Amino acid sequence: MSPSLALLTSLFLALVAAQTPGKNPETHPKLQTWKCTTKDGCKSQQTALVLDSASHPIYQAKNTKLGCGDWGNPPNKTVCPDEETCAKNCIMEGINNYADYGVTTEGGSVLMKMFGKNGVASPRIYLLAENEKKYEMIKLTGNELSFDVDVSKLPCGMNGALYFSEMEETGGQSKLNPGGAAYGTGYCDAQCFTTPWVNGVGNIKAQGICCNELDIWEANKKATQLAPHTCSKPGLYRCTGSECGATGVCDKNGCGNNPYSAGDKSYYGPGASMKVDTSKPFTVVTQFPAKDGVLQEVKRLYVQNGKVFENAAVNVTGPINDAYCSKNGATKFISEGGMKGMGESMSRGMVLAMSIWWDDGGFMHWLDSGNAGPCNATEGDPKVIQKIEPSPAVTFSQIKWGEIGSTYKAKKHYYS
């Protein structure tokens, strides 16, 4: 993602997670997903969801009114002088009612609301495997992913995101982090931010947390962007100093593709005049063709009312590959591995994440204003958002992955 520091802070409104599980159980919402092949079609599985550990109730063992650290900083030095003491002093409770945090599921559909029981929730969730102890590791190189989405309740300034992070399958589960993936630990992305915990262990050295990130979908009803972000280090990497910055080990801006920026102002948006009418649900298909195991490009299709639309202005901009990225100034993406590096991360396996958030500092201008979209300078202000849409929400459903051409059906193809 390409959010400002102020915006990302909204994702961590709660104090960041403690490491010793408390007495309250964790009850994960079930979510049906599908694995597909061209020969046998799609077969369902009963996966589950877990909220990021930062959303879990946490407190100090000897003072339940105090937390253990704030996002953007290492943990509290008094309760966390070292990793072992930190784990003993910090308690993380399970969540048994995800609806209180803005997350509900039904069959293969998950509804995410910006507001929960106690105000702004801004939930971020990860897909767990059927055993609910590890993350579902999805390998997309040479394959495709599809999902249905309803963005009709996401006005300017909102972002309903579906993306992948090269987190560890266990969430960094260890002696000091017994909860692991089941409690939503182990998050990382290409922004390399500092949080009080790295893989569920006290971040005593105040290191940044980096890993490859594949932003499949960042969108509201007015604009959308796709952007892979490469890192030169595989897996979760603990950065220090300049390694964490813009010239460090990860590409923070990504190789972005936005229909509006591509020049097609009538491609994506609410209303029948748009090719993709965002006032109604539609299917997003993202394909990752490979040659000899090496990722060649990223291809986007949209399906609505039985029609398949190729990504906007592709005949003008060309496919999303290394040449496209170089032409559009994504030099950091290329230098940190380009499509080959992104594909290697995808082949190792990545964790599916979904979130809903707004941008307190930048009003989401990078996504939907100026050259990026039709929204004006103030529409993305959270105070304005709540007047336009009192209950911002996004619904993701029918999440499927597998061989190219296996996850969707349509009557006819249309090309822009």
Identify each DSSP E strand in 167-252 by its residue range.
Answer: 197-198, 201-202, 208-210, 213-219, 224-229, 237-239
Let me know: does 128 contact 191? Beta carbons within 8 Å: no
Angle at 359 between CA 252 and CA 90, to 5 degrees: 80
Residue among 393, 378, 228 nearest 298 (CA): 228
The residue that leads in pLDDT, 341 or 1, is 341
388 sits in which H/E element: helix 382-388
Euclidean distance between CA atoms 84 and 336, whole angstroms: 35
0.85 surpassed by pTM? yes
State yes or no: is 26 an active-site residue. no
**pLDDT at residue 5 tops 50:** no
**How does residue 408 score in pLDDT terms, banded at 50, 70 and 90?**
very high
H-run or E-run covering 339: helix 338-348
Catalytic-role residue among 26, 144, 218, 389: 218
Q: Do the Cβ atoms of 277 and 266 come closer than 8 Å?
A: no
The residue among 1 and 159 whose pLDDT is bigger is 159
6 falls in which pLDDT band (50, 70, 90)?
very low
Average pLDDT over residues 375-390: 98
Per cent of the chain over pLDDT 90 is 87
pLDDT at 398: 98
- Give start and end residues of each alpha helix (H) in 42-140: 83-89
In the prediction, which pLDDT does 410 show?
Answer: 78
The pLDDT assigned to 23 comes to 80
The answer on pLDDT for 227 being more than 70 is yes
Please write the tens of the pLDDT for every residue from 248-274: 999 999 999 999 999 999 999 999 999
Examine the residue annotation and report whether 336 is marked as an active-site residue of this protein. no
Residue with tokens 């890192």: 231
Least confident of 66-70, 117-121, 183-187, 340-344: 66-70
User: pLDDT class for 234, splitting at 50, 70, 90?
Assistant: very high
- Compute the average pLDDT of residues 138-148: 98
Task: Tell me the one-letter amino acid at 132.
Answer: E
Catalytic residue, candidates 136, 213, 243, 297: 213
Residue given tokens 């990026």 in the structure block: 372
Q: Work out whether strand 20-21 and strand 90-92 pair parallel, antiparallel, or are unpaired.
A: parallel
Q: Please state the rounded mean pLDDT for residues 312-319.
A: 85
